[in-house]
Amino acid sequence: MGDLQSRESVIRSLLKEGPVTWLHFDGDRIALEVLSDGDSPNSITLDAGTFQGILQHLHHEPPTAEELEAAIAVIEDALMPVIDLLPKHRCLVSAAPEIGEITKLAGHSSGQGVHLDIGSAERLFNRLADVSHGTPPAQLGMPAGRVFAASLLLLRELLHHARFESIVFVR
């Protein structure tokens, strides 16, 4: 219960500055839930594709450069129709364990309300790209798994195309 209360506290604090976009996985669906009004949050949920739709292009561990490009195209196709529906105030938040793994790998603490900026996400993506071109994952401290690659690609494309400056990870 403590983690849930902490999560709600972080979200309510962020809502004071404007709407919050909550990234979560609803089964296989990638959902962007726009929350507004901190006293009794109102929300709309936008469908941003499926995780399986990304994974189906990542056949190897680690994925090849061609596989990453194909997965990026799928993510972009799913995101483009919903980006204009997101609020102008760009605050992205998630409690997805996949996002937590990314923040840890970027060198950020795993505490409550951890901010991962777009620059850190880009640096991780560049390391993933190096791995996809043959650098051993362990040499760069990167996991070789497809799920990690899919999660990082999704986060990078979302930050980039929706113009979020960062994501806040909450437990």
| Domain boundaries, given as residue ranges, for the chain | 2-169
Overall residue count recorded for the chain in this entry? 171
Per-residue pLDDT, 157: 96
Q: What is the pTM of this model?
A: 0.90
CATH number of 2-169: 3.30.420.150
Per-residue pLDDT, 5: 65
166, two tokens: 């960062």
Residue 103 contacts residue 166 (beta carbons within 8 Å) = no
CA distance 128 to 121: 10
Residue 121 contacts residue 49 (beta carbons within 8 Å) = no
Biggest alpha carbon distance in the chain? 51
DSSP tag of 64: P
Span 56-89, pLDDT tens digits: 999 999 999 999 999 999 999 999 999 988 887 7
